[in-house]
Amino acid sequence: MTELEIRVAPQLPRDERGALFQFEDDPWGVNHLGWDWREPELSFGGYENDKPVSHVGLLFHPLHLDGREVLVAGVSSVITLPEARGKGYARRLMSEAAGEMRRRSVDFGALFCSTELRPFYASQGWQLLDHPVTVDQSGRKVRSPLRLMLLPLTDANWPEGPVDLKSEPW
């Protein structure tokens, strides 16, 4: 069995981005939205025999919730190449990313999630947010058709009601 090597870097090199994110036209099924997305500030890359096969990105975003500032870690660009799926690589990278969130005293992890992937994230402690989320797009506010999932990391409470990220999605 091939061992997964995990590398953490501010960003993936351009050739590795291409190998991971362009193996199909729309790997996350979101191109129809025509949105601009925030880039990760920290990349967790999974490598088999020095080849990139899996990735999880993080970015850090302060939000004002219920009159106080909380730090949210946006999880983005979660992907595993088809030939490397079923080996637990994304789960391992998500665990590494959650550890980094805790080291940085992040209050919540947050990710936008398709319906079919909700069970995968829920099995790792992520909870589906029942409230609408607004994101920034081209200078205007847009309600996200994608649901947000949260990973509580402190005793902070996520407020009831709609949420404005005051940011592009990730």
Phi first, then psi, for residue 97 (nearest 5°) are: -65, -40
Percent of the chain exceeding pLDDT 70 equals: 99
Q: pLDDT band for position 155 (50/70/90)?
A: confident
Q: What is the pLDDT of residues 125-145, one digit of tens each?
A: 999 999 999 999 999 999 999
Amino acid identity at 125: G
In angstroms, the CA 99 to CA 93 distance is 10
The mean pLDDT value of the chain amounts to 92
| pLDDT above 60 for 43 | yes
Contact call for residues 133 and 163 (beta carbons, < 8 A): yes
Count Cβ atoms below 10 Å from residue 73 Cβ, excluding itself. 26
- Is the pLDDT confidence value at 29 over 60? yes
Domain spans, the chain: 5-164
The top-scoring range by mean pLDDT among 8-12, 25-29, 80-84 is 80-84
79, 84, 88, 94: CA torsion to nearest 10: -20
> Is residue 158 scored above 60 in pLDDT?
yes
Quick: pLDDT tens for 70-124: 899 999 999 999 999 999 999 999 999 999 999 999 999 999 999 999 999 999 9
Residue 24, pLDDT score:
78
- For 5-164, CATH number out of 3.30.1600.10, 1.10.760.10, 3.30.750.24, 3.40.630.30 equals 3.40.630.30
Would the pLDDT of 1 be above 70? Answer: no
Q: What is the pTM of this model?
A: 0.90
Sheet holding 68-80, edge to edge: 5-9, 42-48, 51-65, 68-80, 108-113, 147-152, 127-128
